[in-house]
Chain A
Amino acid sequence: MRTNLETMAAHGSSAAVPQRAYVTGMVLALGGIGMFFTALVSAWIVRRGLSNGDWQPIEFPRILWLNTAILLASSVALARSRHWLIAGREADYRHWWGVATILGALFLSGQILAWRQLRAARIFLAANPASSFFYVFTVAHALHVVGGIAALVVIALRRPRHLSRQTSTQVAALYWHFMGALWLMIFALLLVK
Chain B
Amino acid sequence: MMKKRVGDTGEGLIAKWPVLAPKQALKVTFLALFCTLAVAVLAGRAAGQGCAMCYQNAAASGAAGREALRHGILVLLIPAVSFFLGVFALIYRRRNATRLRS
B78-102 Cβ-contact flags toward A at 8 Å (1 or 0): 1110110010000000000000101
Q: Which chain A residue shows the least CB distance to B66?
A: A49
Q: How far is the CB of B2 from chain A (nearest CB, A)?
A: 18
Q: How far is the CB of A125 from chain B (nearest CB, A)?
A: 22
B7-21 Cβ-contact flags toward A at 8 Å (1 or 0): 101010100000000
Q: Sorted from nearest, which 9 A-B pairs have the closest CB atoms?
A: A49-B68, A46-B72, A42-B72, A35-B79, A42-B75, A45-B72, A50-B65, A38-B79, A42-B76
Q: Within residues 53 to 74 of chain B, which ones have a CB less than 8 A from any CB in chain A?
A: 61, 64-65, 67-69, 71-73
The range of chain A's interface size is 10 to 19
Give the B interface residue count (CB, 8 A). 23
CA distance A1 to B71 in the complex (A): 60
**Inside 8 A of B9's CB, which chain A residues have their CB?**
1, 3-4
Most buried by B among A1, A3, A34, A50: A50
CB within 8 A of A49: which of B67, B83, B100? B67
Q: A165 in the interface, Cβ–Cβ < 8 Å?
A: no
